[in-house]
Chains A and B, each alone.
Chain A
C-alpha cells in the first residue's frame, strides 16, 4: 500500500508537473533501441557515474519528436540503429558536433560522422542462416537471386532499414539497374511474404518453410544463449550461420550509434555517456550481452559470434551506403518487394 501511494505520487508528479528536471546528474535518452537491449549498459553507467538515466523508447518518429520539441526538448542523447537513421538526425538538424578525443580514438573513422555529429557504438553483420545440416559453406549476396533458391528464401520486409542498407550496399557495388534485377530475382525466390523480424527466419528454417534466411548476426547469440527461453534455443540451434560477401568486397555491416541532441540540457553528462559507451567495459557488454561486434579495437566478440568465422567488412563505406539508401527504398517499392 505504501508502495502504491509512493507510486501514485510519483506518477501524479510526472503527469502534473513539467519535467524540466534541472537537478544535477540526470540524463535523458530518446532511443529506438528496445529498452531490453540497452538497459544493462545504462545500469552500468549509472553505477559508475551516479548519473540517473531517464529513457523513452520510441519506434517511429523519434527525429520528428525531437525536431518539433525544439529548444524545449529534454532529450540529451539520441540512440538509434542503422547508419541511415543517424544521418537523418544530422539532416534534420537535431544533433550537435562533439569534439572528444576519447570518442575519436575509440571509434574508427569509417564508423562515425566526420564532424562528430554521431558515433557508431556497435556493429552487426547482415548474414544468412541455413539449416544446420546444410552443406552450404560460403555464399555471395549475388547468389541470393539465383533461381536455384526459388521458394527457399525468408526475409523481413524490404523497407526495413536493415534491408534497405543491404540493398543500398548492392547499389554501391553494381548500380541501380543491376540492383533492380537482383531484387526482382530475390523476390522471386521468397518462400513467404516478407514479414516479421529476423528471428522468424531461424524459426521458419526449423519449420521447414525456407532454406536460407537473411538476418542480423546478433540474433543468433540471443537465441542460442537461451536468454529468450527454450524455444528460441531450439531455433538458434536449428541453423548454421554463413557470413556472405560481395564478390568484389566483404560482408555488409551496419552500426548502432548515438548522437548528442542539439538542445541537450545536460550536454556534459551526454558526452560522458557516449565516452562510457566506448570504454572497454561497455564494449564488452555490447559483445557479451547483445552479441554485437564491438567497434573498439582489441575487444573480442562473444564466442557464439566468433564461431561464424572471421568477419571481413565490406569495402564500401557507411557514408556511401547511406547515400544510396533512398534509392534502395524506392527500388523496393518499384519491384513490389513487400507486396
Chain B
C-alpha cells in the first residue's frame, strides 16, 4: 500500500513537471510561428499582381541558377568533406593531428566575407595576379589576366571551400564510430584501401554525408551577400531584389512566404529521403580502425592535399583581412566606433544566446520527458526559423512586433496617460527575438542530441535515489549534457555575430554591430574600416572551432 502510494506520487509529480516543460515547448513553437503568421496576414492583404511578371521573367532563370549553384556547392562540399574526413581517418602522416582540427577553420569565415576577400585577392590588380604577371614577365593586366571570379563557377568554388566542414564534421564522426572490426575484417578479406572506402566506409557514412550536405545547401540558399558580390542571381537574391524594387509590403510578404515554402519543401524532401536510414552508433566503443602509415614522401603529399582547403578557405582570407586591417590601423588608427561596435555585437549575441539556449532546452527537454505528437510538432515548428532566410524572419518579426508595440503604446496612452513608445523595436529586444527565432534549431538540435546520449535508466536511478524531478534535471541531465550545451551555445553565439539581414532591419537607433558596419561600408564600395570588423567576426568564429576540436580529440 505504502509502496503504491509512493509510486503514484512519483508519477504524478513527474507528469506535472513534464506538463510544464511541454507548455514551455508549445510556447516556443508559438513564438516561432508568430512572425510567420504575421507575414501570412500581411500577404493576404495584397493582390497577386506581382507573380505574373515574376513567373515570366525572373523565376525560371533564378530557379535554374539556384539549382546549378546548389548542385555545384553540394558536390564540391561532399567531395571535399568526405575525402578529407577519410584522409585524416585512414592515413597516418605528419601533421595529421593538426589537420584534424584545422580543417574546421573555414567554418569561421562567413560566406559574405569569403566573397569580399577573394574579390580583392584575385582581382587583376590584386596580389595573386600581380605575382603571376611578374613571374610571366607581363607588365599590365591588359596583357594577361585570369578569368573573373564574379561568375557561377567562382561562387561555387568559394562557397564550397567554406561550407565543406558541414560535411567533414558528421562524416568524420561517422568514420570514427564505424566499426574498426568491420573494416579490419574487410582488409583481411583482401579488399584494397581504396575499395574499403568505396565499398564499405562511404556507403556506411552516407547518412552523415547527406546531413552535412543539406546543412551546406541551407547555408547556400540563405546567403545573399556572397551571391550579390559575385553577381549570381539565386532565387533568394532575385526575390529579395523584387521586394526592394517593387516596394510593396504585402507583395514582399507573399514573396517571403514563397521562399519559406521552397526551403521547407527542401528540408522535408531531405527528411523523406533519409526516412529509412537510422544511425546505429550505440554507446559501446568499437575498436578503432588502425590508420595506414604511408612512406614519408607520400605522407607529405597527403599533408599538402589536406592543407590546401584550409589555405583556400581560411588562411588566405584571414591573412588578407589581417593585412588590410593593419594597413587601415596605420592609416587612420582604430576609431572609438570599433569598441562600441564590439560591445554591441557581443552583448546582443550573448543575450540572444542565453535566451536561445533556454528556449532550446525547453523544446528538447519536453521532447524527452513527454514524447508524443505534441512535443514532436513543437520541436519541428520551433526549428522552422533556421530554414527561413534571415530576411524573411526579419520581415515577419518587424510586422509582428511593430504592430504589438503600437497596440501597447496606444493602450498606455489611452488608459495610463503616457506613451511607451516602441517597447520592442525601440530597444534591442526585437533583434534578440529575431535571433531566437532564427537559431532556435541549433540549440534545440544540439541539446536534443546531447540528451539522447543519456540513457533513460539514469533518470530512474536518480529518482529512486530520492532526487526530485528538478534535481534529476539539474544534477543528471544538465550536467551530463554540458558539452552539448556549450557547443550549441557557441554555434548560436557565432551565428548571431555573423547575422546580417535581421540585424540591419531591426536594430534600434544609434546601434551598430560589426556585421552592419561591414555591410554599410561594402554597400558603398569602401572597405576602409570594414576589414577590421570582418577580421573581428572571423576571430570570434574561431571560438567554436577550438571547442569542437577539443571535443573531437577527447571523444
Task: Tell me the complex Cα distance, A11–B428, Å.
Answer: 9
Residue A309 at the B interface, CB < 8 A? no
Assess whether A339 is interfacial by the CB under 8 Å rule.
yes
- Least CB distance from A84 to B in Å reads 9
* Contact segment of B194-202, B266-274, B404-412, B451-459: B404-412
In the complex, chain A residues whose CB is within 8 Å of the CB of B344 = 11
> Closest CB-CB distance, A164 to chain B, in whole Å?
7
B7 interfacial contact with A, CB 8 Å: no
- Contact present for A207 and B141 (CB under 8 Å): yes
Cross-chain contact A64 with B150 (CB below 8 angstroms): no
Shortest CB-to-CB span from B478 to chain A, Å, is 27
Most chain B beta-carbon neighbours within 10 Å: one of A58, A92, A164, A207: A207
Contacts of B528 in A (CB 8 A): 228-229
Interface centre among B394, B509, B525 (most CB of A within 10 A): B525
Among residues 501 to 554 in chain B, which have CB atoms less than 8 Å away from a CB atom of chain A?
A: 504-505, 507-512, 516, 519-521, 523-526, 528
Q: Answer yes or no: B173 CB below 8 A from chain A CBs.
A: no
In the complex, which residues of chain B have a beta carbon less than 8 angstroms from the beta carbon of A59? 504, 519-520, 523
**Residue in B247, B428, B524 whose CB lies within 8 Å of A197:** B524
User: How far, in whole Å, are A54 and B512 apart by their CA atoms in the complex?
Assistant: 12
Confirm or deny: B58 has a beta carbon within 8 angstroms of a beta carbon on chain A. Answer: yes
Find out whether the CB atom of B57 lies under 8 angstroms from the CB atom of A330: yes
Contact present for B426 and A18 (CB under 8 Å): yes
A18-B422, A59-B523, A71-B409 given as contacts; is B145 within 8 A of A208 (CB)?
yes
Binary interface encoding of chain A residues 88-130 relative to chain B, with 1 for a CB under 8 A from any of its CBs, else 0: 1001100000000000000000000000000000000000000
Q: Which one of A137-145, A198-206, A268-276, A277-285 is at the B interface?
A: A198-206
CB distance from B261 to the nearest CB of A (A): 21
**B510 touching A54, Cβ below 8 Å:** yes
Which residues of B lie under 8 Å from residue A18 when comparing CB positions?
420-423, 426-427
In this assembly, does B169 line the interface, its C-beta being within 8 Å of a C-beta of chain A?
no
Q: Which residues on the A side are within 8 Å of B51 (C-beta)?
A: none
Contact pattern, A 2-43, Cβ under 8 Å of B = 1, otherwise 0? 001001100100111111111000001000001111000000
The interface residues of chain B lying within 8 Å CB-to-CB of A329 are 245-246
User: Which of the candidate stretches B14-22, B224-232, B440-448 sits at the interface with the other chain?
Assistant: B224-232
A interface residues, tally (CB under 8 Å): 73
Q: Are B124 and A55 in contact (CB under 8 A)?
A: no
Question: Which residues of B have CB within 8 Å of A57?
Answer: 512, 516, 520
- Of the stretches A169-177, A187-195, A249-257, the one at the interface is A187-195
A311 within 8 A of B: no
Residues of B within 8 A of A73 (CB): 422
- B-facing mask of A304-339, CB < 8 A → 1, else 0? 000000000000000000000010011001101011
Of all chain B residues, the one with the shortest Cβ separation from A91 is B247
Which B residues touch A67, using CB under 8 A? 249
Does B206 count as interface, using CB distance less than 8 angstroms?
A: no
Which of B58, B505, B526 is packed against the most chain A CB atoms within 10 Å? B526
Whether, in the assembled complex, B460 has its beta carbon less than 8 Å from a beta carbon of chain A, the answer is no
How far, in Å, is B544 (CB) from chain A's closest CB? 25
- Find out whether the CB atom of B403 lies under 8 angstroms from the CB atom of A74: no
Contact mask for chain B residues 220-260; partner A; CB cutoff 8 A; 1 contact, 0 none? 00000000111111000000110111110100100000000
Chain B residues near A159 (CB-CB < 8 A) = 241, 244-245
Q: Which of A7, A57, A161, A195 counts the most chain B CB atoms within 10 A?
A: A195
Q: By the criterion CB–CB under 8 Å, are A36 and B419 in contact? A: no
Residues of B within 8 A of A208 (CB): 124, 140-143, 145
Q: List 19 A-B contacts (CB under 8 A).
A: A14-B511, A19-B426, A20-B426, A34-B521, A35-B520, A58-B504, A61-B398, A63-B247, A64-B252, A69-B405, A70-B406, A72-B409, A74-B509, A193-B231, A195-B230, A196-B525, A203-B123, A203-B125, A208-B145
- Shortest 9 CB-CB contacts between residues of A and residues of B: A20-B421, A193-B231, A195-B231, A207-B124, A197-B525, A208-B141, A199-B525, A68-B402, A208-B142
